[in-house]
Amino acid sequence: LAGPVSRRILEESYDKAKEAAIELDEIFGRNNFFLEIQDHGISEQSTVNAQTIQISNETGIPLVATNDVHYILAEDAKPHEVLLCIQTGKTMSDPNRMIYEGGQFYLKSPEEMYNLFPYQKDALENTVNIASRCDVSFTFNELKLPKFDIDDGTSAKEYLEKLCHEGLKMRYKTITPELEERLKFEIGVITQMGFIDYFLIVSDFIKYAKSQQIPVGPGRGSAAGSIVAYTLEITDIDPIKYNLLFERFLNPDRVSMPDIDIDFCYERRGEVIDYVTKKYGEDKVAQIVTFGTMSAKAVIRDVGRALDMPYAQVDTIAKMIPNELKMTLSKALEMNSELATIYDTDEEVAYLIDTALKLEGIPRHCSTHAAGVVIAREPLTDYVPLNAHDGNATTQFPMTTLEELGLLKMDFLGLRTLTVIDNAVNLIQRNKNTFINFSEMEYDDSKVFELISSGNTEGIFQLESAGMKSFMKELSPSSLEDIIAGVSLYRPGPMDFIPKYVQGKKDKNTITYTHPSLKPILENTYGCIVYQEQVMQIVRELGGYSLARSDILRRAMGKKKTDVMMKEREIFLNGDGETVVGAVANGIPEQVANQIFDDMMDFAKYAFNKSHAAAYAVIAYQTAYLKTHYPVEFMAALLTSVKDVPTKITQYIESCKKQNIKVLVPDINKAFGEFSTSGNDIVYGLSAVKNVGTNVVELLVKEREQSGLYKSLNDFFTRNADNQLKRKYVECLILAGAFDSLGGKRSQYLAIYQAIGNGIVAKKKHTIEGQIDLFAFGKKDNVLTDELPNIEEMESKQLLAMEKEMLGVYITGHPLEKVADKMNCFVTHTVIQFLDDNGELQVNEDDDIVIGGLILNQKIQFTRTNQKMAFITVEDLTGVVECIIFPNVFSQLEKIEPEESIIISGKISLKGDDEVKIIANSVKMLNTLLSDYVILKLNKEQRVPEIREKLLDLFKKFPGNTKVLVYNIEDNTKKAFPARYNVSINDDLILELSNIIDKECIIVPKTK
């Protein structure tokens, strides 16, 4: 109905429609243009069909009868409606939702189509005629790499060899035969596999990035194992020094596309993509589509929302689905008998699950892949369909399909940490006149390893999660090899090897090897198999495999196919009769060889790529180096990188406090757009202030640098009169504290900024018009003065609220600061602990949890039984979280006074698998809880048997109803004494307690 002919029939006239049809027929040629008729039971289609057939009869333009297919089967109509609701954010009860009425938009059989159009047999058969004329074929597994142009006529191989040998001289002081041989071997494999142009293309755009001072990562993935990549400056990790294997990257016995993933500064990644697009042509470069599909839990939640079912009911069903990889609804029904029972007995739940089963696994939405870029030899439209997404061309095929088609796919990854490093290095150069060159470092600074071992690793790449901090403290790394191993081991599975690794590092006498020949391979990892590369080396050294053959075994182990592994075990033990001699022939006893194979099998399930871990470890070391030697500059750069993420800013400000680094409010005379440094302090960035854009900040800073510091608000307005300085910008800067350093109070500046702004505008207008009153601006009551009105400053609570609104975080204080110590005695978690730095969950569904904070806002709703429930947003010192208050707890919420500190006990609810919410079991005011307890804050030295006995004797002396809670200062844990030791609060008890432990360790209830 939206086509040019149909539209004219409905909106204009028959003659206009006929003219459009004739014009299109002339453009495409007879029998290349068809008039379409459809019948989905829509009234307008009857009108359009009748007139379309008439146009066909009068002009001879052929007809084609089709059906608009949006789903396959007729019974899919309702699930399709639900899907539309999910995609458009509507519910099935919404009368204005998008809908395909009539339920006829399915793939109809030939019989159904003949019944619809019994009078148009030719139109129906034209569908077959058109299909027979369509000829699209795909060539799979045939490389279609673009050619790299070389100006001087040199062959691609000669050019690659030239660049590699130049790079070899640059990278190594002494060129050994080993290096020459390794380089020759790798170039030979690259040539044999047809990837010369690939390496030249990657090398070229990385050199471009570096020439433009765009930060580039040291390498990622198995490419770090290539000396060709190292000499071409594609990677910055020496594969010889760290014993990284080329065959893990490119295997001559297993032809597959090389996979070089490159990290760029996340702010400038687009510049590199633009360079590639211009070099190879806009028609040959595109970003790659990715489809977001609905997993088992997600589809239940989405469908439940679309069906308008109660949140609690849907949440209960979603939680019954096991938390396992590749979980499906069908599997869940088999595994969870409770879910199966509800499905069989509850019609509403059955309809929810049946609908979800129809939609599970299908794309919910499409978006641009975060990193993927494809570069083709010919225009991309010769190979794949394209789509315009956010103004850029994207492929309609996902990454895996593009690889099967032989197209060059690359990952241009944006890594925030590279931007942090670059910004920190620039700040250091500006402040200290010191240039940091990581390419010349040895990565052996003992102070850096001391920092990592201390657990003070907030902001350190890969090492800042609570678990990793604990591991690093236990490990006490003393070399980059230790960090490489740490990155590899700290994952599910390999974690089991951590105790053995740590023990071996601390006591070399505990290291054992199943066979002495393993020592050269496992010595660096204290007898543990940590890397995939070690598996490859073991089968090569003990079994006589080639490295290429060993990589095939490594991959097979990872797939855990029993029949394949039985065959491989026999080859490892006794050889294959051709190239592999076997471990037994190499002098390894069969029983020992079997044990080694078992050990490799156990590890291969979780094996990590050392090349990838090495790249991560290098970046971790670089960030740790900056934090160790230049903490102020590093933390400023770190804060800039998360300026739009208030929870991370809060976390890093807390980290600054631990390092005795002050974070100051924005200062109009010190601050820049980003976070900057002033001596040993960090100054909040002006562009992070709400409503104040980067362009405005650049103008304000430029004026300050050209003409000196601002002396007053009047001076600020006057000097920026031509900079399109809106009054709103100034108000936001005042509220954020940006004028505090000028000496006035925020209340004073708020009282006069409008008048000063108006005066500046009036003065400018009079000056332009030549009508300035020579006496007007000399009067005593003139607003253009540096005098401030005599007004008291606002209350601290109000100042903090304005600061939070403008900056997204509290800087000069926090409403919870005064009660934080008391609150910590009850809470089990803070909001920041829900996720690690990579966004990975650190809590599980249904975990018991206690948090404390303030209620920011609440939304009250009524259930179907007309009971009150609420969704409240709670803020603690580290962030915010939504808590769901069901009717059975709502009465507790109603008793909470506004702005009261509260303690919420409940359970974790993971919405959509990663969005953390809390289902509340109780909501209490902190003061109410404090009135129930005497709290003793004890350190390790105070938690000893002698003091415990004294305390117990004292409690018996003052029996009562108040509970005694011990709070462990070191690990924030708490434990209540049994009820028989409850006490009666009085001055004598407090006095005697003070004689046993320090008075500041005692928190007593204010009232009873």
Tell me the per-residue pLDDT of 915-955, one tens digit each, with 9 for 90 and over.
Answer: 799 999 999 888 888 778 888 988 888 889 999 999 999 99
Give the model's confidence band at 437: pLDDT under 50 very low, under 70 low, under 90 confident, else very high.
very high
Residue type, 43: S
Instruction: Kindly state the average pLDDT of the residues 468-486.
Output: 93
Tell me the per-residue pLDDT of 699-727, one tens digit each, with 9 for 90 and over.
Answer: 999 999 999 999 999 999 888 887 677 88
Asked if 907 contacts 847 with a C-beta cutoff of 8 angstroms, the reply is yes
- pLDDT at position 772: 47
Residue type, 424: A
- pLDDT at position 723: 67
For the chain, what are the domain ranges? 4-67+108-133, 439-607, 642-807, 817-926, 933-1003
Instruction: Kindly state the average pLDDT of the residues 789-796.
Output: 89
Q: C-alpha distances in angstroms, 547 versus 184, 194, 254?
A: 16, 20, 12
Least confident segment among 772-776, 821-825, 881-885, 992-996: 772-776
- pLDDT at position 775: 42
- Phi, psi at residue 907, to the nearest 5°? -130, 150
* E strand segments, 799-892: 848-862, 868-875, 880-885
Instruction: Kindly state the average pLDDT of the residues 508-517.
Output: 93
Helix/strand/coil percentages in the chain, nearest 5 = 50, 15, 35
Instruction: Kindly state the average pLDDT of the residues 801-808.
Output: 90
Least confident segment among 277-281, 743-747, 752-756, 904-908: 752-756
- pLDDT at position 288: 93
- pLDDT at position 49: 93
To the nearest 10 degrees (0 to 180), the angle between helices 196-211 and 177-193 is 110
Q: What one-character-per-residue DSSP string does 50-74 give?
A: HHHHHHHHHH-PPEEE----SBSSG
Look up the CATH number of domain 817-926: 2.40.50.140
Asked if 366 contacts 289 with a C-beta cutoff of 8 angstroms, the reply is yes
The rounded percent of the chain whose pLDDT value lies above 90 is 57
pLDDT beyond 70 at 773: no
Q: Name the residue among 211, 231, 208, 607 with its Cα closest to residue 219.
A: 231
Q: Which CATH class is domain 642-807?
A: mainly alpha
Query: Structure tokens of 995?
Result: 């004689």
Tell me the per-residue pLDDT of 65-99, one tens digit each, with 9 for 90 and over.
Answer: 999 999 999 999 999 999 999 989 899 999 899 98
Asked if 883 contacts 874 with a C-beta cutoff of 8 angstroms, the reply is yes
Give the model's confidence band at 566: pLDDT under 50 very low, under 70 low, under 90 confident, else very high.
confident
Residue type, 881: V
Query: Structure tokens of 293?
Result: 């599909």
Query: Structure tokens of 840?
Result: 């990975």
- pLDDT at position 56: 95
What one-character DSSP code corresponds to residue 394?
Answer: E
Give the model's confidence band at 766: pLDDT under 50 very low, under 70 low, under 90 confident, else very high.
low
pLDDT beyond 60 at 778: no
63 or 840, greater pLDDT = 63
> Who's near 813: CB < 8 A, 6+ residues apart?
796, 800
pLDDT beyond 50 at 314: yes
Which conformational region is residue 121 in: left (phi greater than 0), alpha (psi within -120 to 50 degrees), or beta?
alpha
pLDDT beyond 50 at 401: yes
Residue type, 533: E
Q: Name the residue among 808, 800, 801 with its Cα closest to residue 689.
A: 808
* CA-CA-CA-CA torsion sign (12, 16, 22, 25): negative
Query: Structure tokens of 393?
Result: 């061309």
- pLDDT at position 21: 96
Tell me the per-residue pLDDT of 185-220, one tens digit each, with 9 for 90 and over.
Answer: 999 999 998 899 999 999 999 999 999 999 999 988
- pLDDT at position 783: 46
- pLDDT at position 914: 62
The rounded percent of the chain whose pLDDT value lies above 70 is 96
Distance, CA of 384 to CA of 406 (rounded, Å): 11
Least confident segment among 18-27, 466-475, 590-599, 814-823: 814-823
Tell me the per-residue pLDDT of 868-886, one tens digit each, with 9 for 90 and over.
Answer: 889 999 999 888 899 999 9
Asked if 425 contacts 634 with a C-beta cutoff of 8 angstroms, the reply is no
Tell me the per-residue pLDDT of 542-551, one tens digit each, with 9 for 90 and over.
Answer: 999 887 888 8
Give the model's confidence band at 273: pLDDT under 50 very low, under 70 low, under 90 confident, else very high.
very high
Q: What one-character-per-residue DSSP string does 166-226 give?
A: HHHHHH-SS--HHHHHHHHHHHHHHHHHT-HHHHHHHHHHHHHHHHTT--B-S--GGGGG-
pLDDT beyond 60 at 780: no
Give the model's confidence band at 823: pLDDT under 50 very low, under 70 low, under 90 confident, else very high.
confident
- pLDDT at position 777: 44
Least confident segment among 157-171, 358-372, 613-627: 358-372
Query: Structure tokens of 538?
Result: 């073991």
Distance, CA of 1006 to CA of 1000 (rounded, Å): 15
- pLDDT at position 782: 45
